[in-house]
Structure 1
Amino acid sequence: MPDIAIIGGTGVYDPSILTDVHDDKVMTPFGEVIFKVGTYNGKAVAFIPRHGSHHSIPPHKINYRANIWAIKKIGVKKIFATTAVGSLNPDMKPGDFVLIDQFLDFTKSRISTFFEGEGGKVVHLDVSEPYCPHLRQVLKKSAEKLGIRAHMGGTYVCTEGPRFETPAEIKMYAKLGGDVVGMTNVPEVTLAHEAEMCYSTVSMVTNQAAGISKTPLTHAEVVATMEKNGANIKNLIMKAIDLLDSVEETCGCANTIAEFGGFKI
């Protein structure tokens, strides 16, 4: 079974980077998850398109808990996720990648934990370091070897969606320290943390955010930029999979809730 998973965001819908691909499915307490499993250079890799294979699931209706539970159940230990983002930071330009290290959560209606008090169990998750430092270093090394422009660090502002943000909101997020804005990284990152898996996000800047961009925002613009740079994001992740064993693993992701007895499927 795979111990690596790729969660593909907007523009990353198909597992063409893998060979010997087959469909699989897992029933979870939160619903059924259908995903694909293939191989890359001898390593088994699971692939889940976050929005569905035809981009039919809006950000606020993604079954984040089912996705994370399913890949934990099949034995995944490391997750590479992709996200399309707008930039609030003038140094982060369309086409750039950002290996984010922090987030600001402005979602409103999403269930953000596996632990809702059933059986008296409540978990208070430490998210001082929400993104796996080991995977981020591997991705940094991958970008350097490929000559891909990737910013090491940045704060992801997660909004509810599916609408884009107003210029006033973007101005506020920038003042609060946000670098990029998207709609999907929370609660995915915290659920992966609760499930004691390594998780890192590769964010691709597809546009300048509202009020910064000189033109109205469109989803077509986002998709077009992702398609233009799709080869880069796939190459970046696959090179990172190649390099996983070459960077010392010093993270504590596998024990994030040890204080509460660990994560049990």
Structure 2
Amino acid sequence: MTMSVPAAPVGIIGGTGLASLGTLEITGERSVTTRWGEPSSSLVEGRLGSQPVVFIARHGNPHRIPPHQVNYRANLQALYDAGVRVVVGVNAVGGIHADMGPAHIVIPDQLIDYTWGRASTFFEDELEEVTHIDFTWPYDSSARDVLISGARNAGVPFSDFGVYGATQGPRLETAAEIARMERDGCDIVGMTGMPEAVLAAELGMRYASLGLVVNWAAGKTERVITMAEIEAAIAEGMSGVKQILERSVAELGQLTPWSNLDVLV
């Protein structure tokens, strides 16, 4: 007689609205703590079909933690401790690339980190040895492939490439800063992509980003950026994000765990 092994949960980091996926059954919610302190929110646990999922609200619930003050280490550690080994970070971003306007979905393949002063590694303080991980490809290719397939199956317009420029926030960027980022090769800009991606890599978690463009980046139009514009793009585009997740989580849950620590520099 063989015993079935329970599926590992898929972690989803984003807004609390994502916990309303169409066929999601919420099974519990619990507050946790980690060696890095309190995560942004409690963990919301559920099942999408037979696949367990765990949600965490990156900015808290209610939405009140600014990007530069998110406890990214606690968030990733809390998911890891809950058994998560595959993570999708849902990110609201600004569009720089001409094809990446409001309500468009981007599954980025690269990033440039412009943030500063954030706690950005688990490998510090009382180390037995200095640890460097390979970060050539910041997003897991297998997880990206699953999201890309999910987007195609959903018939949702999306881009399967993009360089994510991570800025400090909480202010939006100047037009000159966006012009510089465009020269650097950035296609989208956001404030939460780092250190989230590298912390997941340090824990050996497969991590991919699902970016929803909520505004044109500064200077890409003659208009100033307003919250009304951002909220309208979220309302229009979030259904596509949910459709992609609904079609992807079961396959994401089948991905085998890996460890970036196997390829230390």
Counterpart of 2:164 (choices 135, 156, 160) is: 156
Q: How does 1:118-133 map to 2 (within 5 A)?
A: 118-133=126-141
| 2:256 is equivalent to residue 258 of structure 1 | no
Note the alpha carbon deviations across 1:151-193, whole angstroms, 9 max, x for none.
1111000000000000000000000000000000100000000
Which residue pairs with 1:27 in the alignment? 33
Partners of 2:197 and 2:181 in 1: CA distance? 19
Once residues 119 and 89 of structure 1 are traced to their aligned partners in structure 2, the CA distance between those partners, rounded to angstroms, is 42
The answer on whether the counterparts of 1:14 and 1:53 sit within 8 Å (CA) in structure 2 is: no
The CA deviation at 1:245 is: 6.9
- Match of 2:59? 51
Question: How far does residue 74 in structure 1 lie from its aligned partner after superposition?
Answer: 1.3
Q: Structure 1 residue 190 and structure 2 residue 198: aligned?
A: yes
Q: CA deviation at 1:259?
A: 5.2
Moved more, 140-149 or 183-192: 140-149
Render the CA deviation track for 1:67-88: whole Å, top value 9, x for unaligned.
0011111110111111111111
Instruction: Tell me which of 2, 7, 10 is aligned to 2:13.
Output: 7
Overall identity of the aligned pairs, in %? 37
TM-score relative to the length of structure 1: 0.90
TM-score of the pair, normalised by structure 2: 0.90
RMSD: 1.8
Which residue of the partner structure matches residue 146 of structure 2?
138
Q: Distance in 2 between matches of 1:86 and 1:241?
A: 25
**Which 5+ residue runs of structure 2 have no aligned equivalent?**
1-5
Q: Distance in 2 between matches of 1:244 and 1:108?
A: 31
Contact 2:133-2:263 at 8 Å conserved across structures: no
The alignment partner of 1:122 has SS state of: coil
How many residues align? The count is 254
Find 2:68's aligned residue among 40, 54, 60. 60
SS at 1:52's partner residue?
Answer: coil
More strand by share: 1
1:168 aligned residue? 176
Secondary structure of 2:31's aligned partner:
strand
Cα separation, 2, equivalents of 1:73 and 1:243: 21
After superposing on structure 2, the runs of 4+ consecutive aligned residues of structure 1 that deviate more than 6 Å are none
Unaligned runs of 5+ in 1: 261-265
Whole-Å separation in 1 of the counterparts to 2:18 and 2:162: 27
CA shift digits 1:109-139 (9 cap, x unpaired): 1011001142333221211111010111111
SS of residue matched to 1:181: strand
Q: Which has the higher mean CA deviation after the structures are superposed, 165-174 or 111-120?
A: 111-120
